[in-house]
Amino acid sequence: MPSPERRRFPSWAEEERDHDLAWIKENWHVFWPASQLGYERWGRGALVVDTTTVVVHEVGEGSPIVYLPQEKVEEKNWADLTRLVFEYNPSRELVAVLLKAKDRKSAYRVGMARRNPPE
């Protein structure tokens, strides 16, 4: 953990970020196929997950997810999200936006670890 004077974000934000990334990892088996399908249909974009709502369906329960294509992302005028969508590598990364209580949102560019090809 960085020293307090070198911390980029307040400690509550660092804790929330760690929690968000763990949650994304836990739900990777849903997010990855959804992002791949979205990319195949609409090109670059971001998964938007409403973490404030839980829906029940045949295979369990979860948060609603929608794929937002790049042109729709750009309409939102959120510079950081636009940059993430422009820069990510769709073959091994995705961009996730988590909608949170009190109109807050967090965006992440996350991916699979690179694997060395077999020799």
Q: Which residues pair with 109 in a beta bridge?
A: 95
Cα(57)–Cα(46) distance, integer angstroms: 23
Identify the burial level of 44 via C-beta atoms within 10 angstroms of its C-beta, where 0-12 means exposed, 13-18 middle and 19 or more buried. middle
Angle subtended by helix axes 11-26 and 28-42, to nearest 10 = 80
pLDDT by residue for the chain (119 residues), tens only, comes to 555 555 677 898 899 999 999 999 999 999 999 999 999 999 999 999 999 988 877 777 888 899 999 999 999 889 999 999 999 999 999 999 999 999 999 999 999 876 554 54
Provide the residue ranges of all domains of the chain, joining segments of one domain with +: 9-111
pLDDT the model gives residue 115 = 56
Write 71-78 long-range contacts (CB < 8 A, 24+). 72/45, 73/45, 73/46, 78/107
At 56 the pLDDT is: 79
Question: Which amino acid is residue 43, in one-letter code?
Answer: G
Confidence at residue 9, expressed as pLDDT on a 0 to 100 scale: 78
pLDDT confidence of residue 67: 97
Cα distance between residue 50 and residue 68, in whole Å: 13
pLDDT on residue 119? 46
